[in-house]
Each structure stands twice: as C-alpha cells, then as structure tokens.
Amino acid sequence: MTAAVVCLAFVACEPPPSATEMPPPDFGACPVSYFDEEIPVPAVHLTSPSFRFDAHVPRTAEGVEVNIEDTKGTIRFDDSGPIPAFVFNFADWPDLGRRLFEGLGVRDGVWFPFWLYCADDGTLDRFWVERTDRPGWRGIIVDGTWTQSSQLSTAVIDLPATTLRKVALTCGFDVTTPGDPPSAANLPASHAGSMVFPGYAPTTILVFNTADCRTGCGSRSWFELHAIMWNRERNEVGFQIWYLDPLVAGVVTDNTMVLPRITSLNAAFPDATWRLDN
C-alpha cells in the first residue's frame, strides 16, 4: 500500500465546498470506549536529511490554518490554537491529480494525523484531519499554497515529552491470528489489541478510527483501521494504518510513523483473518 491509497479512502466521495464532519461507519449501536492508561510519548530531538516542503493555508472561516516550513510548523482548526506539526510522508495520486502529504500534529493529550492535498499548479485545496480521542474525521476545502524541492534540507524536529490520554477504541471489526505463530496480529473491537512479529517486542494496538472504502473508492475495495501503537519495552509510540483487503492475504500495516525516531515500521500478517460487523 502507498500513501496515495491511504488517502483515497478520505476523498473518494467528493465533499461539498465547505467543511464536512465525517463520522466513522455506523455499525448499528457502536459504543466508543477509551483506553484507560496514559501513554507517555518521549521527547523528539532529531536532525536528519529530509525532502524540502512548505505549505501555507491562511486562516479560514472554519478555523483551519497551516504553516509548514521545511516539513515542520503548525496546524490549527476550530479553536484549537496552533498545534506543533510535521510532515513525514508523501505520494502521488494520479487519478485525483494530487500529491498527498501526510503529517502529524502533536499536543499533550491527543494526536492529530492530517493529510494535505496538493495540485501541480502549487495550490493546496483540501485539509483532512482526525484525532486520537474520538472516531471520525473532518474534511475541509481550503485555498492554500505549497512548494516542494528535490533538494534535501536538514529537518530539525524538536518536540517535548507529552502524554496521550483517552485514546478512543472504536468497533465494527475483528482481526485475529489463530494459534501461536511467531508473527501475530489480534485487534478486537472496542478493546486494546496486540501486534507481535519477529525481532520486535509485543506492541499494544489501539484502533481509534476507521475508513470504509468497500464502495465508492474506485475499482478496489478495502477497509482501514487507524491506530496508535505503543511499545512499552522500547518506549516507542506511533501512528499506524491497518489494511483489510479481500485481495491481500491476511492484513498489512503501512504509513506507520514511530516516535521518538520518526521511523517507519510496517508489517504483513498473512495468517491473520478479519471480519466486519456490517
């Protein structure tokens, strides 16, 4: 999977030219519970080569504002105030004629994964954001600009230690791996799940949001689980997307970003099985 595939789930149905509040799929009575532990997020002090990317969205009527210079800066929406943010991934989506940039806003208590939709003419016209303390996401039409250079720059990411609280645990799915293989994924609805694969300590998985692309997303059909991953032993916390795809054996993860190193950690679990409640 690529970042372009990830973002396809968010824009397959054209939103109206205004802010749209989009809830998760309605699986009947889908109660939202919360993870009852606080998750310590280590401080990030990182200097590394990075692609050069700038993005700016002037303050909109919906309260959206984006100021990114050399992949880092701030985002804001509603009355959130400026949220420290950085961009860590991008991919082209030719069908839409956009380059999609994926980023993360970090505030004490909650994370804000977000996506910026950028056209070849330098315009940035869509801003999508979700948050770890509730299911659903917001999609907002914006009038911004962006630039990217092939020249590498030195990105300096500096974030204080924070704590994630009340991570949402949504439902409507179930992922299990039978038996006790060396590589396993188990994600129950409305509960903390787990991920184990060779060479890595067991990791807690908290699915806080979903994206339904079984219909309306083109010729392909899949379902996404958006999750926080927490490895206590390694003191690592990350954002991760799980793909439930009928054309792929088992389940796979992609677009994973792990703090404090801002590294990718993706895995495939071909023996896992999954089901959806609707």
Q: Which amino acid is at 62?
A: E
Residue 16 pLDDT class (50, 70, 90 cuts) = very low
Name the most confidently modeled range: 91-100, 125-134, 263-272: 125-134
Task: Answer yes or no: is pLDDT of 41 > 70.
Answer: yes
Position 20 scores a pLDDT of 56
CA pair distance 273, 278, nearest whole angstrom: 16
CA pair distance 156, 170, nearest whole angstrom: 34
Distance of alpha carbon 249 from the chain centroid: 22
CATH code for 3-24+45-158?
2.40.128
pLDDT above 90 as % of the chain:
59
Q: Which residues contact 79 (CB under 8 A, 6 or more apart)?
A: 63
Domain coordinates of the chain in residue numbers?
A: 3-24+45-158, 164-276
CA pair distance 60, 77, nearest whole angstrom: 9
- Mean pLDDT across the chain, nearest whole number? 85
Position 217 scores a pLDDT of 64
Position 54 scores a pLDDT of 95
Distance of alpha carbon 87 from the chain centroid: 11
* pTM score, whole prediction: 0.88
Position 231 scores a pLDDT of 95
List, for residues 130-183, the tens digit of each pLDDT value. Answer: 999 998 889 899 999 999 987 777 778 899 999 999 999 999 999 999 987 778
Task: Answer yes or no: is pLDDT of 4 > 70.
Answer: no
